[in-house]
Amino acid sequence: MARFSKSHRKVLDRNLRNHPSRNNLGSLGVKLLNCLFPSIRRSLLNLLVAGATSILLWLLVFSGPTSDGGTRTSPFSQTVRPSSQHPIPGLIQDGLAKWEKMLSSQSKTYDEAVANYKRRYKLDPPAGFDKWYSYCFSNNVLLVDEYDELMRSLEPFRKMGSREMRRRAAASMWAFYDTNAIVVNKEGLSLAGHEEIRVERAEGIVRYLRDNKVVEILKGVVTEEWMIPTNELAEPRVLDKVDLTGLKFQPKNKNGGTVMSKIWESHQFGEGSLIESIKKACGGSSPFSTGQQKPNWTPDKEIPTTSYAKAFVKNVWDDLNVCQHPDMPKHHSFFRTRHTTTRGLIPMLGFGRPSVFGEILVPTHYWWGNPDYTIDPKKDIPWENKTSTLYWHGSSTGGGKGDPTLGSMHRHRLVRFFSQPTSPARSLQNTTHFTFVLPSTDDCWNFDCPTIKSFPTAPHTPLNDHTWSNKFLADLDGWGYSARFRALMKSNSAVIKSTAMVEWWSDRIVPWVHYIPASVSGDDWGDLISFFVGLPDNTTKPDWSLQDKLAREIAERGREWAYKNTRSQDMTAYTLRVFLELNRLFTANYLPGDKALDEKEIKAERAEEAKIRKEVEEQVTVSVKTEHEGLLDKIKDKVSGTGEEEIRKGGSQEGEGVYTQPQEEEGGGEEEEGDCGVR
């Protein structure tokens, strides 16, 4: 495996020392030294050259004009070692050491896997662990021990107890048309289907577990039926802001409340209710709660005019920690999305979430052969034949649907940053290509079409057209996680990824080794491109072959990682492990404190669970019928010339406990995205 060595650093320093811009400084130094005593000439000359090299490295990589004509400040902070050496090579080297340690520490035998499980989680492995390991061994799964993020997400449910888990799962098995449930029993897997409920994500999980013939393993360990709700949206749903323990999910209470209104709450554009819910989930003493101000959704105030890095991302998990970053709503538009979240912790499968959310993550169904999210290797080209450009092309989505302003939308901010003539990144415009898919006039209720058309746009381009000719590919969140990440990683290009979402693979990859991380704030994009691509073409610059070599090695390692760790076998092994862990939690029949339920208590709990399921089914049927009737009325109003303004705005404001499902674009969520327009 390639490593950035000390000799590489010497080459970088030598290139910079040979840069023409320091010739005058060098000549002056020689003249001064000729006036000094010969005995100290050599030591002073070495000191002068070293100092000049340090200053030049600083100026070449980091100096540049700001938007107001001033001098650009240092991008370093205490989070990255301050020195004359550029931090990126050091970050790469640190990452390589971490990756090598991860690979070398993986269990080689079943006994080692059991021992590592007990050491990491202070638990015995779940039933079926031996068959799971046999599957991993037979299919050459490399990372058999890396499940820390999964186990962290399950810990609250372990404390909750099986009885409460089952009650909450039953109460949230269906929600309007965007939450479904997977039923697990001795017969295998099935869907808790409802004719009005979306099924593609839950159905995808069931299908690929069946296709990979691991259902038999589950059937052999399941002692009684259980079910797990599954999020059918790209946006995460589960927030733990209220303790639901002991809450009665009986049919309509005296106040008219329903099961769904006790579980779910809706959030509308611009009102800030999602941020308030996240503050409660983070806790009152968290920086997100104490440092949060109500956002002002004004583009001029929220889209920055400058964007320079205070530091490069050293620890991705720190960057993803929502509760530690009160300014995150200013940088990422997820916090403006219009959808529903839970009031309390619910066991639910999901595909990507900010750190404060509680979904149990599994691989997205879009990675199981969907052509829109698959690279055609025949259309990729070798690194040396690619252009030294950063490329992104996608839809103008990602929060704010129906809002008349763009606010803090992360996609819009980057497209503006790399294309606006007055942008501080104007010197990089020859090395970047950021465009939106041309908006449809039928979709103008989404955003103001003239506003979107003021951004650089281009016709929709499939993933396998034009993308692979660029050395650098940007990967950005949309409404939720990026479904295109694996396809980009499988290319011969280096991926620069900015995300606020944790996914199933997040602790199974190493930033700076397999991809280039960009901060959620987006303030380091200019510096990343300056380092890897070089200075603008109209200036004199040193040999940039070393930086190009570093980027090429990242692309090669990323491609290898994707082909060896995101195969169908790898995703099956991960998902099977999730289901084995859930099977233990759902069927343990215990209360918090490890108090076991007796047979009579279990029977009573199952009866209550069945009653809750029936009530939820009735409410969903009524809710969907009411929603459909409301949509028909709106269509009639639009045809007759009334109600058009409300449709453009995306509907009226709903109160707490009341929900109107936002319409989905044709193709349902992620399918709307264009080339590199990832979710």
Cβ atoms < 10 Å from Cβ of 628: 12
Cβ atoms < 10 Å from Cβ of 38: 8
User: Cα torsion for 277, 280, 282, 284, to the nearest 10°?
Assistant: 140
Residue 677 per-residue DSSP state:
-
**Bridge partners for 543 per DSSP:** none
Contact between 488 and 562 under an 8 Å Cβ cutoff? The reply is: no
Contact between 678 and 483 under an 8 Å Cβ cutoff? The reply is: yes
Cβ atoms < 10 Å from Cβ of 206: 20
Q: Which residues of the chain have pLDDT under 70?
A: 1-84, 174-177, 193-197, 249-260, 269-271, 292-310, 398-408, 420-454, 456-459, 535-543, 590-591, 593-594, 618-679
pLDDT at residue number 494 = 97
Going through 370-493 in order, the beta strands assigned E by DSSP cover: 387-394, 432-437, 457-458, 470-476
Contact between 87 and 80 under an 8 Å Cβ cutoff? The reply is: yes
Cα–Cα distance measured from residue 349 to residue 157, given in angstroms and rounded to the nearest whole number: 13
**Bridge partners for 353 per DSSP:** 502
- Whole-prediction pTM value? 0.77
Cα–Cα distance measured from residue 261 to residue 26, given in angstroms and rounded to the nearest whole number: 74
Cβ atoms < 10 Å from Cβ of 140: 10
Going by their DSSP bridges, the two strands 432-437 and 387-394 should be labelled as: parallel
pLDDT at residue number 604 = 80
* Structure-block tokens of residue 474: 């940007």
Using the structure block, give the residue that is written with the tokens 């990026």.
482
The DSSP H or E segment spanning 299 is helix 299-302
Sequence letter at residue 366: Y
* Structure-block tokens of residue 4: 């950035």
pLDDT at residue number 333 = 82
Q: Which of 160, 244, 162, 185 is nearest to 602 (CA)?
A: 162
Cα–Cα distance measured from residue 678 to residue 666, given in angstroms and rounded to the nearest whole number: 16
Going by their DSSP bridges, the two strands 494-498 and 595-596 should be labelled as: unpaired
pLDDT at residue number 338 = 73
Cα–Cα distance measured from residue 70 to residue 24, given in angstroms and rounded to the nearest whole number: 24
pLDDT at residue number 434 = 62
Residue 451 per-residue DSSP state:
H
pLDDT at residue number 261 = 73
**What is the SS3 assignment for 102-146?**
HHHCCCCCHHHHHHHHHHHHCCCCCCCHHHHHHHHHHCCCCCCCC
User: Cα torsion for 396, 370, 392, 329, to the nearest 10°?
Assistant: 50
Q: What pLDDT digit, counting tens, does each position of 225-270 carry?
A: 999 999 988 889 999 988 887 777 655 544 445 666 778 888 876 6
Cα–Cα distance measured from residue 141 to residue 159, given in angstroms and rounded to the nearest whole number: 31
Going by their DSSP bridges, the two strands 226-231 and 494-498 should be labelled as: unpaired
Contact between 382 and 498 under an 8 Å Cβ cutoff? The reply is: no
3-class secondary structure, 353 = strand
Cα–Cα distance measured from residue 666 to residue 629, given in angstroms and rounded to the nearest whole number: 20
Using the structure block, give the residue that is written with the tokens 């003493």.
285
pLDDT at residue number 308 = 43
User: Cα torsion for 617, 621, 624, 626, to the nearest 10°?
Assistant: -130
Cα–Cα distance measured from residue 228 to residue 172, given in angstroms and rounded to the nearest whole number: 9
pLDDT at residue number 639 = 40
Q: Name every residue whose Cβ is closer than 8 Å to that of residue 543 and which is 6 or more positions away in sequence.
A: 15
Q: What pLDDT digit, counting tens, does each position of 484-519 carry?
A: 999 999 999 999 999 999 999 999 999 999 999 999
